[in-house]
Amino acid sequence: MTAASAGRYRGVANVDDSFSEEELRALHEGGIRGCRFNFVRHLGGVPDMAVFDRVVARVARLGWHVVLHFDAQDIESHVGFLTGLPVTYVIDHMGRVPTKDGLDQEPFKRLLNAARMDNCWVKICGAERISSKGPPFTDAVPFAQAILDVAADRALWGTDWPHPNIKKHMPNDGDLVDLIPLFMPEPWLQRKVLVDNPQRLYGFSS
């Protein structure tokens, strides 16, 4: 789909070290600008880190970023390797920190510390995944705002449609869109997160 869009679309791929340089280059020319690694337990847990390191080294040459999907309780144990990553990385779903544990929970503090690093981006999506109260997921608002306070230039938003692996509350996407002005009431901040930041990260020219 990205390749057929004549440059209008960008994407993130799941790749491993079986991909040849030619295959990675073809993905790049087709609009892929990043690769994703799941560390969460329900999707298999920590990947083979030797494979991870090899893939990161190769995609770094293409200027790609790496999307990292963590369970909240594992953020602390991964902070060490995050500081040494040679690429821009994006932490998905606000680190999956449960809202019921509050803004002072240790995993969220670690997430905010990571977000202060110049090569760390955070997706302020997944409100339905971190919410402890359920729809319309407004208990996620202070968490998104805290992330924006430290990394407004490196925050992304999305709905995560079609919402794979949801076990509790399958969200109405309208509820998720309605969170935008609660996360970021200011029009300039909405433009930054919804337009300017993804344009910069994904390499759109305008």
Show me where the domains of the chain are located.
33-201
The closest alpha carbon to 11, from 32, 38, 35, 37, belongs to: 32
Beta sheet of 120-123, edge-to-edge order = 11-13, 32-38, 65-69, 89-91, 120-123, 155-156
pLDDT band at 52 (very low <50, low <70, confident <90, very high): very high
The closest alpha carbon to 68, from 12, 18, 141, belongs to: 12
Active-site annotation holder among 160, 173, 175, 196? 160
Q: What pLDDT is recorded for position 155? A: 98
Q: What pLDDT is recorded for position 3? A: 62
Across 147-153, average pLDDT: 98
Are the C-beta atoms of residues 106 and 128 closer than 8 Å to each other? no
> Please, what CATH class does the domain formed by 33-201 belong to?
alpha beta
pTM for the model stands at 0.94
Determine whether 160 is an active site residue: yes
Question: What would the pLDDT profile of 3-14 be if each residue is shown by its tens digit?
Answer: 677 778 999 999
In this predicted structure, the answer to whether residue 1 has a pLDDT above a threshold of 80 is no
Question: What would the pLDDT profile of 63-110 be if each residue is shown by its tens digit?
Answer: 999 999 999 998 888 877 888 899 999 999 999 999 999 999 999 999
